[in-house]
Amino acid sequence: MVVMNKFVKVDPWLQEILVDPLDKSPLTISGTSLVSSYGRHYPMVRGIYDLRLLTQHVGVVGELWNEGQKEYERWTDQLASRDSKQFYLEEKDGVRDVYEAIPLVGRCLDIGGHQGRLREYIAEDQEYVSIDPYLDVFEGLTSQSNLLEVFASLRKPANFICALAEHLPLRSESFDTAHMRSCIDHFYNPEIALLEAHRVLKRGGQLIVGLYVEGGRMGRLTPKERLKEAIRFVLSRMNSRYKDHHIWHPTYAELCSLIAGVGFHIEKTYWQRAFVDRVCYIKAVKS
């Protein structure tokens, strides 16, 4: 095991399956960098391997994604500064029923996994890695005493690689579970991200996608929801503060269609109790 900093590590099993995010060939170690077969260097930044393939964020989608990522990072920094124990307890308890209904089995890849809070719902010796483009996600963690109390797993270093869902730096067929919670609507390209998840899962491996879906279980917006959408659209045109940075707003049917379309078999849908038929968790299997 290599401990990168107080909160980040790279276990031997993870080091063994790291590959170039573009051509998927093995990486070699050169000093503190990882080097691809064609000569690209991926640096270690503040104790974290930075394997983000795309860094320029060009074009409409790239610019929108980058704006959304910056806004998300500002929002999470604000939450961190408050360090609200009640907020953390609600977050932790709010998804407990989900992982009782759809257990996280085997070696687990947490795509968009942030600091690795998902470890609260897996066995202590279970192999786990978080992949997330937020390089500074662990900054200031030592000062968040309430967070470390509620999510006790954060006190131990997590396997973490800074990378994008569309370009996973991981060997094919290496995981039993790929998990995406509240993130697929922010990806550069949700279809490519799902194809990558399919690639890195073993045969029979499970994909878990959790998302707030437009129109909820029935797929229809209420009059109140339609009004809120109209107001949000007008505000976004008047003030960038209200700009919607989501790449995609799928209905449940659209989300299912995309997951099935990349080769998964949808086995189960669980509707999270805390959100009353608005947030679904889909379990899909790679055949």
Task: Return the domain boundaries, the chain.
Answer: 57-286
What pLDDT score was predicted for residue 276?
84
Low-confidence ranges of the chain (pLDDT < 50): 233-235, 242
What predicted TM-score, i.e. pTM, was given to this entire model?
A: 0.91
In the chain, DSSP finds a helix count (H) and a strand count (E) of 8, 14
What pLDDT score was predicted for residue 233?
47
Q: What is the CATH number of domain 57-286?
A: 3.40.50.150
What pLDDT score was predicted for residue 103?
99
- Read off the pLDDT of residues 50-80 as tens digits, 9 standing for 90 and up: 999 999 999 988 999 999 999 999 999 999 9
- The conformation of residue 232, written as its DSSP 8-state character, comes to H
Please name which of 33, 28, 112, 102 lies closest in space to residue 68, comparing C-alpha atoms: 112
CA angle 237, 238, 239 (to 5 degrees): 100
Type of residue at 143: S
**Residue 9 CB partners (closer than 8 Å, separation 6+):** 1, 2, 3, 157, 158, 159, 160
**What sign for the dihedral angle of Cα 184, 190, 195, 196?**
negative
Distances (CA, A) of 244 to 65, 252, 280: 11, 20, 21
- Read off the pLDDT of residues 220-261 as tens digits, 9 standing for 90 and up: 666 666 555 555 544 455 555 545 778 889 999 999 999 999
What pLDDT score was predicted for residue 247?
83
